[in-house]
Amino acid sequence: MMGGSQTAIDVGQCRKLAVIRPHGRCTALVCTGLRQYLQQMIRPGVEDVYFDLSDAEWLDSTFIGLLISYVQRKSDPQVPAIHLVRPSKAVLDNLGSMYVLPLFDVCDAPPEEPTGWTRLPDPAASAEQLADVVVSAHESLIDADERNEAAFGGVVKTFRSEMDRQRTDS
Is 51 part of any domain? yes
Q: Please report whether residue 61 resides in a domain.
A: yes
Is the whole-model pTM more than 0.85? Answer: yes
* CATH number for the domain that contains residue 39: 3.30.750.24
Asked whether the predicted pLDDT for residue 138 surpasses 90, the reply is yes
Nearest to 28 by CA among 119, 148, 161, 155: 155
Give the lowest-confidence range in 46-55, 94-103, 140-149, 161-170: 161-170
Is residue 4 predicted with pLDDT exceeding 60? Answer: no
Phi then psi for 88, rounded to 5 degrees?
Answer: -70, 170
pLDDT, the chain, mean: 88
Position 1 in a domain: no
In a domain, 32, yes or no: yes
Helix (H) or strand (E) holding 13: strand 8-14
What pLDDT, in 10s, does the model give residues 45-99? 788 999 999 999 989 999 999 999 988 887 777 788 899 999 999 999 999 999 9
Residue 35: which domain range?
A: 8-169
Beta-carbon contacts of 15 under 8 Å, excluding residues fewer than 6 positions away, are: 112
Total number of domains in the chain: 1
In this model, does residue 2 exceed pLDDT 50?
no
Do 140 and 69 touch, CB atoms closer than 8 A?
Answer: yes
When pLDDT is cut at 50, 70 and 90, the band that residue 1 belongs to is very low
Task: Give the model's confidence band at 163: pLDDT under 50 very low, under 70 low, under 90 confident, else very high.
Answer: confident
Which helix (H) or strand (E) segment is 33 a member of? helix 28-36
